[in-house]
């Protein structure tokens, strides 16, 4: 059997694994943490076909179970680098080096930071409302951001927390349906400005918001940062690989400009960052990577 590596265990990586395994190739999936990726941390998902509403962890678990039933085995190693070598691709991890005929990169993105929160990460600062929201039940919190992820985080927290301050430095740009539902909540306050400081003795107790030359102090117990994300491609060291702003450029077959190297999901330059498109990307990557690997002598 030919060998394919998948780096990343989110829905794109799991979809790639399902299609590659069904094509009868040997698949090694590198994922340092649990399978499911960011989807496993989401609350209700209402735009995935066939499910009017499903919890993120449940959708991720269903995909992981399906892949495991086909024989997928997760390799819990941290990938340090991916390079092109004479006999394929070399993946160096914290436990050794591996060589594969074809590789699918499906590492998604990482949360952007404000740059002022490091001292309070895990002490009141979070990047996932569905993961940590219950710690702040009936307390005052702030969500920082103006996009779709920020408005969804705030809407989720509005049903748990006493007061939710949505701190945005521009007009809200999320789905209008979500924005309308959010602004209809009596316990949500929209605050325009920039978070200039996060403070507290041993954990978050307040934030400072700067706007129009003045600073306002908001008393909060938690801060949820939702200011976008960055593609997780620092480990990719393949010479000549086409990239756009850190995202991997692929064609309509999920293939890069380097033969045998594929990418799927949010880590690519695709225009839509959705669960359903990540799954579609993964399906293409798994199928075409499997076909390619069978041509390697």
Q: Mean pLDDT over residues 147-158, rounded?
A: 94
224: helix, strand or coil: strand
Residue 41 reports pLDDT greater than 90: no
Residue 151 reports pLDDT greater than 90: yes
Residue 16 reports pLDDT greater than 90: yes
Q: Mean pLDDT over residues 261-276, rounded?
A: 93
Instruction: Give dist(CA 248, CA 115) in Å, integer.
Output: 25
Stretch among 46-55, 199-208, 220-229, 260-269 having the lowest mean pLDDT: 46-55
Residue 248 reports pLDDT greater than 90: yes
**Residue 285 DSSP code:** H
Per-residue pLDDT tens over the stretch 189-217: 999 999 999 999 999 999 999 999 999 99
Among 139, 191, 196, 194, which Cα is nearest to 165's? 191
Instruction: Give dist(CA 130, CA 114) in Å, integer.
Output: 20
**Contact assessment for residue 193 and residue 221, using Cβ atoms and an 8 Å cutoff:** no
Confidence of residue 256 (pLDDT cuts 50, 70, 90): very high
**φ, ψ for residue 215 (rounded to 5)?**
-115, 130
Per-residue pLDDT tens over the stretch 99-140: 999 999 999 998 899 999 999 998 999 998 887 898 999 999
Instruction: Give dist(CA 43, CA 156) in Å, integer.
Output: 8
**φ, ψ for residue 27 (rounded to 5)?**
-115, 130
Report the share of the chain in percent with pLDDT over 90. 84
**Contact assessment for residue 233 and residue 243, using Cβ atoms and an 8 Å cutoff:** yes
Q: Which domains are delineated in the chain?
A: 3-110+229-293 (3.50.50.60), 113-225 (3.50.50.60)
Confidence of residue 38 (pLDDT cuts 50, 70, 90): confident
pLDDT score, position 1: 57
pTM confidence score: 0.81
Among 121, 119, 171, which Cα is nearest to 145's? 171
Report the share of the chain in percent with pLDDT over 70. 99
Instruction: Give dist(CA 90, CA 161) in Å, integer.
Output: 48
Q: Which residues of 198-231 are buried (b: 16+ CB within 10 A; e: fewer)?
A: bebeeebebbbbeeeeeeeebebbbbbbbbebeb
Per-residue pLDDT tens over the stretch 217-230: 999 999 999 998 89
Computed over every residue of the chain, the mean pLDDT equals 94
**Contact assessment for residue 30 and residue 77, using Cβ atoms and an 8 Å cutoff:** yes
Q: Mean pLDDT over residues 237-259, rounded?
A: 97
Residue 2 reports pLDDT greater than 80: no
């Amino acid at each position: 059997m030919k060998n394919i590596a998948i780096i990343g265990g989110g829905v794109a990586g799991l979809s790639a694994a399902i299609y590659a395994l069904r094509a009868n190739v040997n698949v090694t999936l590198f994922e340092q943490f649990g399978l499911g990726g960011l989807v496993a941390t989401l609350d209700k998902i209402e735009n995935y076909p066939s499910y009017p509403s499903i919890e993120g962890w449940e959708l991720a678990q269903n995909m992981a179970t399906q892949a495991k039933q086909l024989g997928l085995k997760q390799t819990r190693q941290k990938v340090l680098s991916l390079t092109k070598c004479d006999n394929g691709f070399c993946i160096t991890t914290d436990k050794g080096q591996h060589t594969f005929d074809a590789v699918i990169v499906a590492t998604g993105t990482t949360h952007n930071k404000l740059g002022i929160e490091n001292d309070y990460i895990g002490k009141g600062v979070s990047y996932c409302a569905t993961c940590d929201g219950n710690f702040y039940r009936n307390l005052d919190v702030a969500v920082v951001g103006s996009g779709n992820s920020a408005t969804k985080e705030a809407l989720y927290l509005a049903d748990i927390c006493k007061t939710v301050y949505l701190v945005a430095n521009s007009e809200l740009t999320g789905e209008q349906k979500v924005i309308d539902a959010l602004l209809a909540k009596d316990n949500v306050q929209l605050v325009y400005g920039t978070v200039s400081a996060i403070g507290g003795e041993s954990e978050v107790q307040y934030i400072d918001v700067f706007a129009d030359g003045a600073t306002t102090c908001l008393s909060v117990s938690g801060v949820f940062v939702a200011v976008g994300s960055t593609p997780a491609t620092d480990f990719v060291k393949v010479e000549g690989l086409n990239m756009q702003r850190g995202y991997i450029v692929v064609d309509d077959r999920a293939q890069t400009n380097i033969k045998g190297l594929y990418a799927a999901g949010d880590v690519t330059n695709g225009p839509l960052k959705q669960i359903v498109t990540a799954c579609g990307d993964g399906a293409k990557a798994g199928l075409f990577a499997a076909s390619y690997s069978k041509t390697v002598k």
